[in-house]
Structure 1
Amino acid sequence: MISLIDRLWYGKGRPLLLLTPLSWLYRTVAEARRRKAIKTHTQKLPVPVVVVGNITAGGTGKSPLTAWLVDTLKAAGWRPVVLSRGYGGNASDYPLLVTKDTLPSLAGDEPVMLAQATGTPVVVDPDRCRGAAFALEHALGDVLISDDGLQHYRLPRDIEFSVFDGARGVGNGALIPVGPLREPANRLDTVDYVIVNGAATTNDAGRVPPEALSGIKHSHMYAMNLQPTRLVNLKTGETRSPESLQGQKIRAIAGIGNPTRFFDTLKELGAKLIAVPFPDHHRFRPEDLGSEPGHMLVMTAKDGVKCSSFAPDNAWVLFVEATLPRALSESVLEKLRAISEAPTS
């Protein structure tokens, strides 16, 4: 299943080359915004700030990485708080403190999913600086994790992650709209970690060689893989193993940035599927969930939070968890310790 975006941005060549002047304009505006935001930075926040994002448009696996970071930090004694823009939500007031019961229509699908998956405070605000101030004022935690915040330069940060889809990489290497890049590839020179979701080749420490990502070199480039953990029925809460999909006929729906990865996971589990992709952050309606007789309906956790109130009896969510090298967690924790122990000016 190859989408139009895959053909235009992630295929061979640059079919949209005639739009190059728009790419130059996009780059000029983006770099000007970055310089202005950095110049007007507020003083460093009293707690460490970790930013998870990407320099490409579309889904790369930022939310699973954010969930992994939350779990890793909690296990080490930290109290993380997630900051999110809340894309797709429409709350009347911000900041919004998200719980597992918050409506996705208010907070957005990803913040609700993260709140349910991690049990940690999630603060939604299009102005992440205001969200950070809210988290600090209410003493919600001692480290802030900004989900999809790499280009939100007004928020001071201590550690930056940039995530790539291992199959797509940097695509044709051009900036929007000719290619998928939000920022030039040399932006990676300034981030702390580059994470490759689904990297096929790594060394013993879980690091990814340059040839795995269009020759991009980074001293801290690690592989991330998403492992299916369980199937949960949206109506009853019944849990099954992912292996139970072997030989099952299913209708698979996905309103995420890269639905092909989800569909491929189901195929690897042995499912016989009818794949139905929707736009990222799609607002599902009951009629979207209609399934063929004798088929299970399987969706992502991100879509499940939006469909739980009207899901049919045969609707299931496939949950996945990110796995990353121990060397990465040790490096992140070491950086955080150094940041927290550094004297404040």
Structure 2
Amino acid sequence: MAITTYTDDSLHKRLLDHLGTAVLLLDHVLIPRYLNPAAEVLLAASAQRVLGQPLPEGFFSDPEARAALARCAEEGHSFTRREARLEIMPGHSVTVDYSVTQLAEPGRAPALLLELQPLDRMLRIAREEAFTHAHQATRALVRGVAHEIKNPLGGIRGAAQLLERALPAAELTEYTRVIIDEADRLRALADRLLGPRRAPQFRLLNVHECLEYVRQLILAEHPHSVRLRRDYDTSLPELPADRDQLIQVILNLARNAVQALTEVSVPAPEVIFRTRILRQFTIGAQRHRLVLRIDIEDNGPGIPEPLRETLFYPMVSGRAQGTGLGLSIAQAIVSQHQGMMVCDSREGRTVFSLLLPFEQHAAGTEGESAWA
């Protein structure tokens, strides 16, 4: 049997070209001299653009990392960094694990072999899974508490009504009326804590029709105070969803955005309604071929840092008059659609994104999505 042989150089290049790990070779002044295809994907640039050019200023912005690179080049001390942030271009950074090893050949200046393993996708999936589990546990706890609140309220209300009829003086009924009104208020709160009362009624719908409906409502409520801008991908297919529930979620997010802009003085306040399609996207532990992303973006002051991790939990609100139930109920509705709601906020830009798979519940819809 004939055996194919390779020269050392060709074999090494084939191995590097087929690695899933990004590999860069840097000279002693950190100029890239080689990168494999996985590194081109990570850096979002071709080898022709990268080779011979200095790395971006923020690539190794950490002084400790630069000092470790210098020590590795001079003394050969290999090292590894976990969950490091590398800025590959202005405004765009990636999270990676990377290892650095010195390559020394007689008569040549030492080079550095850099191996990078991207982590952003894995960290996002792990974060979403942890959030989903925490949200489900919190929802179960809140629903249990709401049921326990509702059970004695009927007895309290009924007893107050009987007492009201037996009171000798009419002016005393104002006290029983307080009991009845407060019992009704608590019951309404418990109903809201329990969340949506029915399962979604899935039908194929045009998501832009829902967005335009919400946009018209917001325009009617705030005709001149906020600019509402559209940025739609009009090629999107129809989405299997419950129209009323989807409108409820979008309206909640849009009103929150407008309130964030009108409660403080923001120059040129603006809310953007945006739609995009994501391919081969993972929500929780499930990978979907096509996912719809709906963004509600505002240019307000942003969400305070302490609130960002607990934003979708019940009874958490950053507004003095807020109940903290709107986002929790919206997240519960999106979860029933097998989707996810996420938030990215900083000063001057807050984006709430709905991620909804196109193929979910396709069998139960009236007709089939052309892209499912």
Normalised-by-shorter TM-score class: under 0.3
Taking structure 2 as the reference length, what is the TM-score of the superposition? Answer: 0.22
- Bigger share in helix: 2
Higher relative contact order (CA 8 A, sep 6+): 1
